[in-house]
Structure 1
Protein backbone atom coordinates (compact mmCIF):
# COMPACT_ATOMS: atom_id res chain seq x y z
CA UNK A 1 0.00 0.00 0.00
CA UNK A 2 1.35 3.43 -0.90
CA UNK A 3 2.00 6.05 1.74
CA UNK A 4 -0.81 8.20 0.31
CA UNK A 5 -3.27 5.33 0.59
CA UNK A 6 -2.07 4.62 4.13
CA UNK A 7 -2.68 8.25 5.06
CA UNK A 8 -6.20 8.17 3.62
CA UNK A 9 -7.02 4.86 5.32
CA UNK A 10 -5.56 6.06 8.60
CA UNK A 11 -7.52 9.33 8.42
CA UNK A 12 -10.79 7.54 7.62
CA UNK A 13 -10.25 5.12 10.51
CA UNK A 14 -9.56 8.01 12.88
CA UNK A 15 -12.68 9.87 11.73
CA UNK A 16 -14.86 6.79 12.15
CA UNK A 17 -13.31 5.94 15.52
CA UNK A 18 -13.69 9.47 16.84
CA UNK A 19 -17.31 9.63 15.69
CA UNK A 20 -17.95 6.27 17.33
CA UNK A 21 -16.40 7.61 20.56
CA UNK A 22 -18.79 10.57 20.36
CA UNK A 23 -21.71 8.18 19.85
CA UNK A 24 -20.61 6.05 22.81
CA UNK A 25 -20.51 9.20 24.93
CA UNK A 26 -24.04 10.05 23.75
CA UNK A 27 -25.20 6.52 24.59
CA UNK A 28 -23.66 6.85 28.06
CA UNK A 29 -25.29 10.26 28.47
CA UNK A 30 -28.68 8.87 27.54
CA UNK A 31 -28.51 5.68 29.61
CA UNK A 32 -26.72 6.97 32.71
CA UNK A 33 -27.33 10.71 32.80
CA UNK A 34 -30.72 10.85 31.10
CA UNK A 35 -29.54 13.28 28.41
CA UNK A 36 -31.37 12.93 25.11
CA UNK A 37 -28.85 12.75 22.23
CA UNK A 38 -29.26 14.43 18.86
CA UNK A 39 -31.72 12.57 16.64
CA UNK A 40 -29.72 12.07 13.43
CA UNK A 41 -32.96 11.47 11.53
CA UNK A 42 -33.58 15.21 11.97
CA UNK A 43 -30.18 15.92 10.45
CA UNK A 44 -31.16 13.66 7.54
CA UNK A 45 -34.47 15.49 7.24
CA UNK A 46 -32.60 18.79 7.08
CA UNK A 47 -30.25 17.46 4.39
CA UNK A 48 -33.17 15.87 2.54
CA UNK A 49 -34.79 19.28 2.18
CA UNK A 50 -31.73 20.74 0.41
CA UNK A 51 -33.07 19.46 -2.93
CA UNK A 52 -36.18 21.57 -2.34
CA UNK A 53 -34.05 24.65 -1.76
CA UNK A 54 -34.78 24.60 1.98
CA UNK A 55 -31.68 25.05 4.10
CA UNK A 56 -33.16 26.61 7.22
CA UNK A 57 -36.24 25.65 9.24
CA UNK A 58 -38.24 27.27 11.99
CA UNK A 59 -38.49 23.85 13.64
CA UNK A 60 -37.03 20.83 11.83
CA UNK A 61 -39.22 18.44 13.85
CA UNK A 62 -42.31 19.97 12.20
CA UNK A 63 -40.85 19.81 8.67
CA UNK A 64 -42.17 17.05 6.40
CA UNK A 65 -40.33 13.77 6.79
CA UNK A 66 -37.90 12.66 4.08
CA UNK A 67 -37.54 9.08 2.85
CA UNK A 68 -34.48 7.48 4.44
CA UNK A 69 -33.83 10.45 6.73
CA UNK A 70 -32.30 8.36 9.52
CA UNK A 71 -29.83 6.71 7.13
CA UNK A 72 -29.02 10.07 5.54
CA UNK A 73 -28.42 11.64 8.95
CA UNK A 74 -26.21 8.86 10.25
CA UNK A 75 -24.20 8.72 7.01
CA UNK A 76 -23.70 12.48 7.16
CA UNK A 77 -22.66 12.25 10.83
CA UNK A 78 -19.87 9.78 10.02
CA UNK A 79 -18.84 11.59 6.81
CA UNK A 80 -18.49 14.82 8.78
CA UNK A 81 -16.42 13.03 11.42
CA UNK A 82 -14.09 11.78 8.68
CA UNK A 83 -13.89 15.29 7.21
CA UNK A 84 -12.96 16.77 10.59
CA UNK A 85 -10.26 14.10 11.01
CA UNK A 86 -8.96 15.04 7.55
CA UNK A 87 -8.83 18.65 8.72
CA UNK A 88 -6.72 17.64 11.69
CA UNK A 89 -4.31 15.76 9.41
CA UNK A 90 -4.25 18.68 6.94
CA UNK A 91 -3.30 21.11 9.72
CA UNK A 92 -0.91 18.97 11.80
CA UNK A 93 0.35 16.75 9.00
CA UNK A 94 1.26 13.12 8.60
CA UNK A 95 3.76 13.45 11.44
CA UNK A 96 0.76 13.70 13.80
CA UNK A 97 -0.55 10.39 12.40
CA UNK A 98 2.73 8.68 13.31
CA UNK A 99 3.04 10.42 16.69
CA UNK A 100 -0.42 11.51 17.81
CA UNK A 101 -0.60 14.03 20.62
CA UNK A 102 -3.54 14.96 22.78
CA UNK A 103 -3.51 18.75 22.30
CA UNK A 104 -4.21 18.95 18.56
CA UNK A 105 -6.96 16.32 18.82
CA UNK A 106 -8.69 18.20 21.63
CA UNK A 107 -8.23 21.53 19.80
CA UNK A 108 -9.98 20.07 16.76
CA UNK A 109 -12.70 18.57 18.98
CA UNK A 110 -13.32 21.99 20.52
CA UNK A 111 -13.20 23.72 17.13
CA UNK A 112 -15.84 21.35 15.76
CA UNK A 113 -18.38 22.94 18.12
CA UNK A 114 -18.54 25.79 15.62
CA UNK A 115 -20.44 23.53 13.20
CA UNK A 116 -23.42 22.89 15.48
CA UNK A 117 -23.35 26.35 17.05
CA UNK A 118 -23.29 28.33 13.81
CA UNK A 119 -24.64 25.96 11.15
CA UNK A 120 -26.67 23.00 12.40
CA UNK A 121 -28.52 24.50 15.36
CA UNK A 122 -29.59 27.68 13.54
CA UNK A 123 -30.66 25.71 10.46
CA UNK A 124 -32.71 23.28 12.54
CA UNK A 125 -34.54 26.18 14.19
CA UNK A 126 -32.69 26.04 17.50
CA UNK A 127 -30.96 29.40 17.07
CA UNK A 128 -27.29 30.33 17.07
CA UNK A 129 -25.56 28.30 19.80
CA UNK A 130 -28.91 26.83 20.87
CA UNK A 131 -30.25 30.28 21.81
CA UNK A 132 -33.85 29.26 21.04
CA UNK A 133 -33.84 26.17 23.25
CA UNK A 134 -35.45 26.06 26.71
CA UNK A 135 -32.02 25.93 28.43
CA UNK A 136 -29.43 27.42 26.05
CA UNK A 137 -26.45 27.27 28.43
CA UNK A 138 -27.15 23.63 29.27
CA UNK A 139 -27.37 22.83 25.54
CA UNK A 140 -24.11 24.69 24.89
CA UNK A 141 -22.25 22.79 27.61
CA UNK A 142 -23.60 19.49 26.26
CA UNK A 143 -22.42 20.42 22.77
CA UNK A 144 -18.94 21.30 24.00
CA UNK A 145 -18.64 18.12 26.10
CA UNK A 146 -19.91 15.96 23.23
CA UNK A 147 -17.41 17.49 20.82
CA UNK A 148 -14.59 17.12 23.34
CA UNK A 149 -15.48 13.41 23.40
CA UNK A 150 -14.93 13.53 19.63
CA UNK A 151 -11.52 15.12 20.24
CA UNK A 152 -10.63 12.41 22.76
CA UNK A 153 -11.79 9.86 20.19
CA UNK A 154 -9.50 11.42 17.57
CA UNK A 155 -6.54 10.99 19.89
CA UNK A 156 -7.36 7.48 21.11
CA UNK A 157 -8.13 6.18 17.65
CA UNK A 158 -4.97 7.78 16.26
CA UNK A 159 -2.87 6.09 18.95
CA UNK A 160 -4.44 2.70 18.22
CA UNK A 161 -4.28 3.00 14.43
CA UNK A 162 -0.73 4.36 14.42
CA UNK A 163 0.34 1.00 15.84
CA UNK A 164 -1.83 -0.97 13.42
CA UNK A 165 -1.05 0.92 10.22
CA UNK A 166 2.32 2.43 11.00
CA UNK A 167 1.87 5.43 8.68
Structure 2
Protein backbone atom coordinates (compact mmCIF):
# COMPACT_ATOMS: atom_id res chain seq x y z
CA UNK A 1 0.00 0.00 0.00
CA UNK A 2 2.75 2.46 0.94
CA UNK A 3 4.69 1.82 -2.27
CA UNK A 4 1.73 2.90 -4.39
CA UNK A 5 1.81 6.31 -2.71
CA UNK A 6 5.58 6.74 -2.72
CA UNK A 7 5.98 8.61 -6.06
CA UNK A 8 3.18 11.02 -5.13
CA UNK A 9 4.55 11.40 -1.60
CA UNK A 10 7.97 12.33 -2.95
CA UNK A 11 6.56 15.01 -5.26
CA UNK A 12 4.01 16.34 -2.79
CA UNK A 13 6.42 16.22 0.16
CA UNK A 14 9.12 18.11 -1.71
CA UNK A 15 6.57 20.62 -2.98
CA UNK A 16 5.06 21.15 0.48
CA UNK A 17 8.48 21.55 2.09
CA UNK A 18 9.49 24.06 -0.58
CA UNK A 19 6.23 25.96 0.04
CA UNK A 20 7.02 25.98 3.77
CA UNK A 21 10.49 27.33 2.99
CA UNK A 22 9.01 29.99 0.71
CA UNK A 23 6.75 31.19 3.54
CA UNK A 24 9.78 31.26 5.89
CA UNK A 25 11.76 33.24 3.30
CA UNK A 26 8.92 35.78 2.96
CA UNK A 27 8.74 36.09 6.77
CA UNK A 28 12.48 36.67 6.91
CA UNK A 29 12.44 39.28 4.15
CA UNK A 30 9.28 41.16 5.07
CA UNK A 31 9.30 40.86 8.85
CA UNK A 32 13.04 40.45 9.47
CA UNK A 33 12.31 37.27 11.38
CA UNK A 34 15.04 34.80 12.14
CA UNK A 35 14.35 31.39 10.58
CA UNK A 36 15.42 27.93 11.64
CA UNK A 37 19.02 27.18 10.79
CA UNK A 38 18.83 23.70 9.27
CA UNK A 39 22.56 23.28 9.82
CA UNK A 40 21.67 22.87 13.50
CA UNK A 41 19.38 19.98 12.53
CA UNK A 42 22.33 18.48 10.64
CA UNK A 43 24.54 19.02 13.67
CA UNK A 44 21.99 17.25 15.86
CA UNK A 45 21.76 14.32 13.42
CA UNK A 46 25.53 14.17 13.07
CA UNK A 47 25.96 13.93 16.82
CA UNK A 48 23.36 11.16 16.97
CA UNK A 49 25.76 8.96 14.99
CA UNK A 50 28.25 9.57 17.81
CA UNK A 51 25.71 8.61 20.46
CA UNK A 52 24.78 12.10 21.62
CA UNK A 53 21.08 12.93 21.37
CA UNK A 54 20.55 15.93 23.67
CA UNK A 55 22.31 19.30 23.54
CA UNK A 56 22.07 22.34 25.77
CA UNK A 57 22.03 24.23 23.42
CA UNK A 58 22.84 22.74 20.03
CA UNK A 59 24.70 25.89 18.97
CA UNK A 60 27.32 25.18 21.65
CA UNK A 61 27.95 21.65 20.37
CA UNK A 62 30.86 20.89 18.08
CA UNK A 63 30.17 21.52 14.37
CA UNK A 64 29.70 18.49 12.14
CA UNK A 65 31.18 18.28 8.65
CA UNK A 66 28.52 19.13 6.03
CA UNK A 67 25.94 19.82 8.72
CA UNK A 68 24.10 22.28 6.48
CA UNK A 69 23.70 19.75 3.70
CA UNK A 70 22.70 17.05 6.19
CA UNK A 71 20.15 19.34 7.85
CA UNK A 72 18.55 20.52 4.62
CA UNK A 73 18.45 16.96 3.28
CA UNK A 74 16.76 15.76 6.47
CA UNK A 75 14.28 18.64 6.28
CA UNK A 76 13.14 17.56 2.81
CA UNK A 77 13.20 13.85 3.67
CA UNK A 78 10.98 14.50 6.68
CA UNK A 79 8.61 16.44 4.41
CA UNK A 80 8.39 13.42 2.11
CA UNK A 81 7.83 11.08 5.08
CA UNK A 82 5.08 13.33 6.45
CA UNK A 83 3.45 13.38 2.99
CA UNK A 84 3.63 9.58 2.86
CA UNK A 85 1.98 9.30 6.27
CA UNK A 86 -0.75 11.71 5.22
CA UNK A 87 -1.43 9.85 1.96
CA UNK A 88 -1.76 6.55 3.81
CA UNK A 89 -4.34 8.14 6.15
CA UNK A 90 -6.65 9.68 3.56
CA UNK A 91 -8.92 8.17 0.95
CA UNK A 92 -7.14 7.49 -2.35
CA UNK A 93 -9.54 9.87 -4.07
CA UNK A 94 -7.96 12.77 -2.19
CA UNK A 95 -5.01 12.72 -4.61
CA UNK A 96 -7.36 13.29 -7.55
CA UNK A 97 -9.38 15.97 -5.77
CA UNK A 98 -7.25 17.49 -2.97
CA UNK A 99 -9.12 19.40 -0.30
CA UNK A 100 -7.60 21.89 2.11
CA UNK A 101 -9.13 20.91 5.45
CA UNK A 102 -7.49 17.50 6.00
CA UNK A 103 -3.98 18.75 5.15
CA UNK A 104 -4.43 21.84 7.28
CA UNK A 105 -5.30 19.67 10.27
CA UNK A 106 -2.46 17.28 9.45
CA UNK A 107 0.01 20.16 9.09
CA UNK A 108 -0.94 21.52 12.50
CA UNK A 109 -0.54 18.04 14.02
CA UNK A 110 2.98 17.72 12.58
CA UNK A 111 4.08 20.52 14.92
CA UNK A 112 4.18 17.85 17.60
CA UNK A 113 7.47 16.61 16.08
CA UNK A 114 9.46 19.76 16.83
CA UNK A 115 7.60 20.38 20.10
CA UNK A 116 8.25 16.88 21.46
CA UNK A 117 11.47 15.79 19.72
CA UNK A 118 13.56 18.48 18.04
CA UNK A 119 13.22 21.37 20.48
CA UNK A 120 13.88 19.29 23.61
CA UNK A 121 16.85 17.56 21.95
CA UNK A 122 18.37 20.87 20.89
CA UNK A 123 18.15 22.33 24.38
CA UNK A 124 15.01 24.45 24.02
CA UNK A 125 12.87 22.12 26.14
CA UNK A 126 9.46 20.64 25.51
CA UNK A 127 7.53 22.96 23.17
CA UNK A 128 10.41 25.46 23.39
CA UNK A 129 9.70 26.22 27.05
CA UNK A 130 13.37 27.14 27.65
CA UNK A 131 13.66 29.32 24.54
CA UNK A 132 14.25 33.05 25.13
CA UNK A 133 10.70 33.77 23.89
CA UNK A 134 8.79 30.47 24.16
CA UNK A 135 5.46 31.75 22.83
CA UNK A 136 7.11 33.32 19.79
CA UNK A 137 9.03 30.09 19.12
CA UNK A 138 5.79 28.09 19.42
CA UNK A 139 3.90 30.44 17.12
CA UNK A 140 6.66 30.30 14.51
CA UNK A 141 6.69 26.49 14.66
CA UNK A 142 2.92 26.37 14.34
CA UNK A 143 2.96 28.75 11.37
CA UNK A 144 5.72 26.73 9.69
CA UNK A 145 3.79 23.48 10.05
CA UNK A 146 0.51 25.08 9.05
CA UNK A 147 2.25 26.35 5.91
CA UNK A 148 3.56 22.81 5.32
CA UNK A 149 -0.04 21.55 5.45
CA UNK A 150 -1.17 24.21 2.98
CA UNK A 151 1.87 23.31 0.89
CA UNK A 152 0.68 19.69 0.78
CA UNK A 153 -2.57 20.93 -0.71
CA UNK A 154 -0.83 23.25 -3.19
CA UNK A 155 1.54 20.50 -4.34
CA UNK A 156 -1.23 17.89 -4.57
CA UNK A 157 -3.42 20.31 -6.51
CA UNK A 158 -0.59 20.91 -8.99
CA UNK A 159 0.02 17.17 -9.26
CA UNK A 160 -3.68 16.41 -9.81
CA UNK A 161 -3.85 18.88 -12.71
CA UNK A 162 -0.99 16.99 -14.41
CA UNK A 163 -2.64 13.59 -13.98
TM (norm. structure 1) is: 0.93
Contact 1:7 1:94 in 2 (8 A): no
**Alignment partners' CA distance in 2, 1:5 and 1:76:** 20
Kindly indicate whether residue 136 of structure 2 is the aligned counterpart of residue 133 of structure 1: no
Contact 2:116 2:126 in 1 (8 A): yes
Which residue of the partner structure matches residue 109 of structure 1?
A: 107
Which residue of the partner structure matches residue 18 of structure 1?
A: 16
Residue of 98, 101, 118 corresponding to 1:100: 98
Shift of 1:98: 1.2
* Length, aligned pairs only: 163
Which residue of the partner structure matches residue 77 of structure 1?
A: 75
Once the two structures are superposed, residues 5-25 of structure 1 have per-residue CA deviations (whole angstroms, 9 ceiling, x without a partner) of 773222111000000000001
TM (norm. structure 2) is: 0.96
In structure 1, stretches of 5+ residues that fail to align are none
Shift of 1:99: 1.4
41-50 or 94-103, which deviates more: 94-103
**Structure 1 residue runs of 4 or more that deviate by more than 3 Å after TM superposition:** 4-7
1:96 match: secondary structure: helix
1:52 match: secondary structure: coil
Once the two structures are superposed, residues 109-151 of structure 1 have per-residue CA deviations (whole angstroms, 9 ceiling, x without a partner) of 0011000000000000011111011111111111111111101
Cα 1:5–1:161, aligned 2, differ >3 Å: closer, same or farther? Answer: farther
Once the two structures are superposed, residues 18-37 of structure 1 have per-residue CA deviations (whole angstroms, 9 ceiling, x without a partner) of 00000001101111011111
109-118 or 92-101, which deviates more: 92-101
